[in-house]
Structure 1
Amino acid sequence: MLSEPLAFAYAGWGMGLALIIFYGFISCYTAKILAGIILSDPRLRSYADIGRKAFGPRSTVVISILFCLELFAVSVILVTLYADSLHSLIPRYSSDTYKLWGILILIPTVFLPLSLLSYTSILGIISTIFVVIVILVDGVSKTESPGSLWSPAETSIGIDNWNHLGIAFGLFMAGFSGHAVIPSLARDMVDPSEFNRMINWAFIVATSIYTLIACTGYLMFGNSVSAEISMDLLSTPGYNTALNEAALWMLVLSPLSKFALTTQPLNTAIQILLGIDRPLSSPEELATKLSAPQHGSRITLKAALGVLQRITVTLLSVTVSILVPEFSAAMAFLGSFSAFVLCVIGPIAAKVAINGRCGVFDGFVMALAVVMGVWGTGAAFLDA
């Protein structure tokens, strides 16, 4: 959400509106594909199960690696967001310094049980709503440019830079990633027949919020908007400083609290791939395992390796965030590589493999997703 105005600055009004609506529609379409497959076979429960049915057992490792890359990219983004927000609030120290200090908070949290970490999602919801309100209040309360909706900044109708357009692909698509939860969501619904109606409304709401923030932020700051619009709120004179500082403090606390929740499935998947943990048959078993008290004081080699692995992932997240400090580059990679593969290409490819035929629409969308994904990934690396 924070990077949507920058995506509009890169794509221009025409392409920006077309892309955000198109991605919302396609993501909703592929979510229905995943739900249809999972509900057609009672033996299936997860995205990996769908891949195994469509492409064979060897696909499980590939899908696990893709999910690990996506979750790792999210963890890097969370580190960058909290450090950049803290630097804007207290500019005495650099963002890199805050990232290093954050290790002292992040490492202990990755060992907390899932039952406790799940409550941190409430902070994320409150933070999102609060930031949306603050951006709208700022835009309406200020009458002069920059940062005013009454006196819009300079914007573009068309595309000014084709490499930036590739980055915009990823920035837009990153907001619609998260298809990993779709199979479990469809399976756990009281009335799965209501899934399509529910998911239609879910994507209508999400696309509307993204479009609102994108258009508002682009009108307020134009082509000079920052990678995170939250950075512009504090640096622009004329706003309610206390209100904007409160919003930025939410963007400091929320990523810090969500880091462990995000890396929990990543750490579990890595431990399974490395053979230092056994595969789990269901999310419920994972929750039970993480929440259960550990009896006995003897530390096994696997337990020690598990601790080392969690610390290593945290240190790597901070290191990559320091090496790739651009928030937009990390977001673009998340959207261009992970989101296109897991949210568009994967579901359609699974549908084609299971049905044994490919329709014209599915073929067109998959080909377009491949082009945009490759283009966006390359642009993200060049921008980094």
Structure 2
Amino acid sequence: MKKVSFSVLPRGPHRRVSDVPLPDKSLVAGAIQATPSPLSRRRFSSGSAATSASVIRGGQSTFGQTLFNSIAILLGVGMLSEPLAFAYAGWGIGTFLIFSYGFMSCYTAKILARIILSDHRLRSYSDIGRKAFGPKITPLISAMFCLELFTVCVILVTLYGDSLHALLPRYPSNVFKGWGNILLIPTVFLPLSLLSYTSIIGIISTVLMVIVIFVDGFTKTESPGSLWKPAHTKFGVTSYGELGVAFGLFMAGFSGHAVIPSLARDMSNPTRFNTMINWAFIVATFIYSMIGYAGYLMFGNDISDEISMDLLRTPGYNPLLNQICLWMLVLSPLSKFALNTQPLHATIEILLGIDKHISSPEDLADKPDGLSIASIWASWDRKRILRVAQRVLLTGAIVMVSILVPDFSSVMAILGSFSAFMLSIVGPVLAKVMIERHCSIFDGVIIVIGIVMAAWGTLAAFT
């Protein structure tokens, strides 16, 4: 049998992540159908692995399901603050930033997918960091992306509670958050292939909200809130502090990279991931731009943190349409919660010992009979109980933090400025550079820009 190196991405300067092609479709199909025997597992040596180790194993989600999941992750609550970001950055820089961030985020998403699909041992964002930077940096990377996902989930619960409170003011938002906890717990046990159907709900909710914004804008003939008579806007930047906040608000919409490895790993045909993610970012950038442009024209420099609040407060709109818009803001967070917590649960389960870190064929080579069915069965009940407990407790903790820290705009700005830049822009490019042992001019520019904007935006958000 021909033997190859276990590491698919060599650490030499002559081989780059971008040069490693996605696997041929026949290899993916073979990996799905093949089931190695205990004899073949015993043939792994300490210095090499069988060729099957380098073959990417497909998951359960189809191209369409993964596309729906990706779009649902990207079209997050950050879209509500896009008009405010344009108010801070102005038309010129705002347009440049939103399209630049969309392009860079799509580029780094492909980097993450290529790395994780090139090594079947990798399962999560933190595994990629472990491969690129070594085990010492893994706790820091895991903490950063867990904090980002936790913050996003807190924002989702906050938006759900505030929207329901606006619809039913008889009860405070905290009561609705408590009820939402009961609804969210069952969803965190669903597989990604089933969560794609809830992603459809989130995408439909987003599209309907965009429609409501434009219908309101075109049916109202007087300012504010009219697209026929736009409010006062500006082309350039008037405050560098506000520009820094705009960095975070724009970038918050593209902060779904912690979920990208899970989506790529679960795709049944990983060879089409690049095509899928291109379409996902095109759709997300287009919708973000439409919401930002329309909202800024309708309310100008007096736009609120959330455009939904302006639609609710401004007289002259069709009340039924605004009710529909708010109900969409109730359904959308509920449909995205489980997707955002999926990699968070995976990381915590690894820390608790429920799941394993990166494993190697050498671990199986030391066991002549492979993995014992009896040992697996003995630990299965304990692991299942721990898995259920941690998912229920984590969901409750997210709801509790949302109740204790209800400030929407501040959390959004800090999320985009620090977490999104470091995890969605700087982190993937640095991982690529460390694995390749080579840094191109393009990658170097992205790293520098990402660090500068992260520091600038975070300082501006706190100030």
- TM-score range for the pair, normalised by the shorter chain length: 0.7 to 0.9
Give the drift of 1:119: 3.2
Deviations 1:248-300 (A, max 9, x none): 1121133234334433432342232133x223779xxxxxxxxxxxxx9xx97
Task: Determine which of 208, 211, 214 is the counterpart of 2:286.
Answer: 208
- Counterparts of 2:308 and 2:334, CA distance in 1: 17
Structure 1 unaligned spans of 5+:
283-295
Identify the residue that residue 95 of structure 2 maps to in structure 1. Answer: 17
SS of equivalent to 1:179: coil
Identify the residue that residue 398 of structure 2 maps to in structure 1. Answer: 317
Contact preservation (8 Å) 1:72, 1:263? yes
Give the drift of 1:48: 3.6
Contact preservation (8 Å) 2:259, 2:340? no
Task: Determine which of 249, 260, 269 is the counterpart of 1:190.
Answer: 269
Task: Determine which of 426, 429, 440 is the counterpart of 1:345.
Answer: 426
Corresponding letter in the other structure for 2:413 = A
Q: TM-score with structure 2 length normalisation?
A: 0.70
Deviations 1:200-245 (A, max 9, x none): 4432332121111101111011122222212222221111111220
Identify the residue that residue 266 of structure 1 maps to in structure 2. Answer: 344
Contact preservation (8 Å) 1:28, 1:203? yes
- Counterparts of 1:42 and 1:316, CA distance in 2: 32
Task: Determine which of 144, 148, 153 is the counterpart of 1:70.
Answer: 148
Identify the residue that residue 291 of structure 1 maps to in structure 2. Answer: none
Identify the residue that residue 250 of structure 2 maps to in structure 1. Answer: 172
- Counterparts of 2:183 and 2:120, CA distance in 1: 42
Structure 1 position 226 matched with structure 2 position 307? no
Contact preservation (8 Å) 1:167, 1:329? no
- Counterparts of 2:437 and 2:189, CA distance in 1: 45
Structure 1 position 356 matched with structure 2 position 437? yes
- Counterparts of 2:192 and 2:289, CA distance in 1: 33
**Structure 1 vs Structure 2: percent identity of aligned residues?**
67
SS of equivalent to 2:258: helix
**How has the CA–CA distance of structure 1 residues 249 and 45 changed in structure 2, closer, same or farther, with 3 Å as cutoff?**
same
Structure 1 position 34 matched with structure 2 position 112? yes
- Counterparts of 1:261 and 1:180, CA distance in 2: 11
- Counterparts of 2:113 and 2:403, CA distance in 1: 38
Give 1 or 2: higher helix fraction: 1
RMSD: 3.1
Identify the residue that residue 27 of structure 2 maps to in structure 1. Answer: none
Contact preservation (8 Å) 2:122, 2:358? no
Contact preservation (8 Å) 2:208, 2:325? yes
Corresponding letter in the other structure for 2:90 = G
Give the drift of 1:129: 1.1
Give the drift of 1:57: 3.2
Could you say which structure has the larger radius of gyration?
2
SS of equivalent to 1:377: helix
**How has the CA–CA distance of structure 1 residues 115 and 31 changed in structure 2, closer, same or farther, with 3 Å as cutoff?**
closer
Task: Determine which of 279, 288, 291 is the counterpart of 2:356.
Answer: 279
The structure, 1 or 2, with the larger RCO (C-alpha pairs under 8 Å, 6+ apart) is 1
Deviations 1:70-126 (A, max 9, x none): 211111011111112112222334434433443444456556676765532221111
Corresponding letter in the other structure for 1:126 = I
- Counterparts of 2:124 and 2:384, CA distance in 1: 27
Identify the residue that residue 334 of structure 1 maps to in structure 2. Answer: 415
- Counterparts of 1:133 and 1:104, CA distance in 2: 31
Identify the residue that residue 25 of structure 2 maps to in structure 1. Answer: none
**How has the CA–CA distance of structure 1 residues 48 and 268 changed in structure 2, closer, same or farther, with 3 Å as cutoff?**
closer
Contact preservation (8 Å) 2:144, 2:419? yes
Identify the residue that residue 288 of structure 1 maps to in structure 2. Answer: none
SS of equivalent to 1:180: coil
Identify the residue that residue 447 of structure 2 maps to in structure 1. Answer: 366
Contact preservation (8 Å) 1:76, 1:330? no
